[in-house]
Amino acid sequence: MQFGEFADFVVLRRCAGRDRAEDYALVLTAKGVESAILPDGKGFKLLVAPKDAIQASYELTAYDSENQQRPVRKRLTKLAPLNLDLLLGYWITLVFFFGASSRNAFGINWLEIGSAQMGLIRAGEWWRTVTALCLHANGAHLLNNLVFGTLFLVLLSQVVGGGMSALAVLAAGAAGNVLNALVRPETHTSVGASTAVFAAVGLLAAMKQDWRHGRLSSNLRDWAPLAAGVMLLAFLGFSEGQTDILAHVFGFASGIALGAALAWQDRPWAVDKVLQWKAACAAVAIVILAWLMAIAASS
């Protein structure tokens, strides 16, 4: 179309940036109203046909009102304070189970009853998807997951809070082990928190992605968080000495799926203290229940 074709159109909005004008145009398109965006000096203008001006004005006024009442995304993702309780719990859990499994504490073979043995998970021993996240084959394996796990938990907890981070990482890590069990041979066995660590990477990447208002296809820079997560997965998850690449990939994918679901809701997760406590208690309860089930099944 040439500019002259819009000579009779009404200027409904003037926007400093094209992104804002495109958001308005998307709202109108969803309501069946045709619009056009044209350069206007240093900004852009949104035009509609005269016959659609009243309806379009009403729709955009309602849209502006709704978005004024809803906190903007930057406010929702305001960083929360560093959560030391989460980090302390993470370190205590991994160090305790490493020591217990190294010495068969309490007469229990922790590695045998808690490892992610694919055939047994498929047979119904769901708890292994959780207990395996607590176990490590050696000190180097443990140290690696302590260091990287701490880093990504710190970052994630500042976005969704400590309790939600614990529950989300645990859930996505367990889901990663479930997916791994579906494609691996029955005899394959794995242990380690690395599946949960890469779930945290996926969660963080997804939480930084804007999933709303059609933004997924609007600009390449919108994909930067996910691209960074994929590159981090490739750099850390496929490095030499890693024994279960698929578990890392599935953990990362599960983190993205759960993170997208959380981000879509646009809730101020980190500032809801009641929710954080409930989520933290749920995460602790799941780990305790999983290990009680493991111990009971081995008796």
Asked if 93 contacts 283 with a C-beta cutoff of 8 angstroms, the reply is no
pLDDT tens per residue across span 236-288: 655 555 457 888 889 999 999 999 898 887 677 777 889 999 999 999 999 99
CA atoms within 13 A on the CB side of 203: 33
Sequence ranges of the chain with CATH classification 3.30.70.1530: 3-69
Q: Give the closest residue to 97 by CA, choosing from 245, 294, 244.
A: 294
CA 229 to chain centroid:
10
Given this structure, which CATH class describes domain 3-69? Answer: alpha beta
Given this structure, which CATH class describes domain 77-298? Answer: mainly alpha
Predicted structure pTM score: 0.69
Higher local confidence (pLDDT), 171 or 21:
171
Radius of gyration of the chain (CA): 25
pLDDT tens per residue across span 168-210: 999 999 999 999 999 999 999 999 999 999 999 899 888 876 5
Sequence ranges of the chain with CATH classification 1.20.1540.10: 77-298
Q: Give the closest residue to 208 by CA, choosing from 230, 197, 223.
A: 223
| Euclidean distance between CA atoms 172 and 170, whole angstroms | 6
Strand partners, 116: 190
Six-digit token pair at 225?
A: 């968080």
